Amino acid sequence: MLPLADVRIISVEQFGAGPWATLQLADLGAEVIKIEDPSSKGDVGRYVPPFQEGEDSLFFETFNRGKRSISLDLRHPDSRDVLHDLVRAVDAVYSNLRGDQPAKLGLTYEQLRHVNPRIVCCSLSGFGMTGPRAAEGGYDYMMQGLAGWMSLTGDPGGPPTKSGLSLVDLSGGYASAIAVLSGIWRARRDGVGCDCDVSLFETALHELMYIGPWAATHGFVPPRRENSAHPTIVPFQNFEAADGWFVVAAAKQKFWELLCHVIDRGDLAADPRFATMAGRNEHRDELVPVLAAIFRTRPVAEWLETLVGEGIPAARVNSVEEALEDPQTLAREDVVEHEHPTLGRVRSIRTPLRLSEGDERLERSPERGPFRGEHTEDVLAELCGYTTEHLGDLAERGVFGDIR
């Protein structure tokens, strides 16, 4: 049995960060039930191009495999009883909305504790549930700018630059998944639930890592470096070879000394300017051009064979296509596939969460993502005991909106 097979979560989620969080839980066995708003035709991720047809898209499929979907208009006056019946049957209510929205929709612990005192209510928002920006929307690109990431990224003299992936969304998803699991653990231990208030902005601030303390304590923010170089460790960056690019990561003194041996430049190791990490950082403008000239003389494959063979961390700079065909990717069967009625054969990336050889669901092909409202009647019958007549009455009153 998967680790979270006894965990059930309802999630008012859309787009990327929230669905990414609950995807991790679903991959570990949790039952994740998406509540999709019929007035907006469900999760906006269903309509993100390219590779989108009707209400199905590869974007949506990426974030929502293995989940169930119910259609429920939380603003409808008759939906509150349905929500409460669901809350009685689950461990957590998760949402990724503006910080002011959970309270407006009745999704906070204070509003639900009388229904289920053990319920955990987790909100992932742009800025949190308090503060002057609580009611503002927030997206990954904005957070990379606000938290200073863009000022650190890109070549010297270039414009502010975001990362190639939505790392704040992904990190916010992971952070909120940890928060909701911690809340569930405590609720099972102590019998009391809670609110979890996680924001993309604070996630991005937290991920300034050591740069945050450098700036907060000493006012020091490292400048941008050419070729994605580490701010203070040299050499730790991209280098151009005769036929492409690769990364050298001499993050320890022993790697520097091994590198000097491999390139037959004992004089560099003996040079007092380059003898220590601090010295190499101080004299990087003298050292890096020497190394760059050497690395341009041979192809990537030859350098990697030599460097890695000597125990020096180094790697090719792959395209996405090359990454998916990397020998390590293939050996660990990281690309999995499943069939979708609309999208056909879908190839996706397997979860990195591997806990034991016995976890069959972590090893086999994933289940497809749900159609909008696909499981409305089944979930409400199973969890809440609703009869066909009751479901029909709610449908007539418009609580479920339109279900395709």
Q: Which residues are catalytic?
A: 169
CA–CA distance, 100 with 80 (Å, rounded to integer): 18
3-state DSSP assignment of residue 88: coil
Q: Which residues of 264-283 are buried (b: 16+ CB within 10 A; e: fewer)?
A: ebeebeebeebeebeebbee
CA–CA distance, 352 with 355 (Å, rounded to integer): 10
Vertex 97 angle, CA 93 and 103, to 5°: 65
Residue with tokens 């003389």: 297
State the DSSP string of 286-354: HHHHHHHHHHTTS-HHHHHHHHHHTT--EEE---HHHHHT-HHHHHTT-EEEEEETTTEEEEEEPPS--
Tell how far CA 52 is from the center of its chain.
Answer: 22
180 within 8 A of 107, measured Cβ to Cβ: no
CA–CA distance, 229 with 236 (Å, rounded to integer): 6
Taken as a whole, the chain contains a residue count of 404
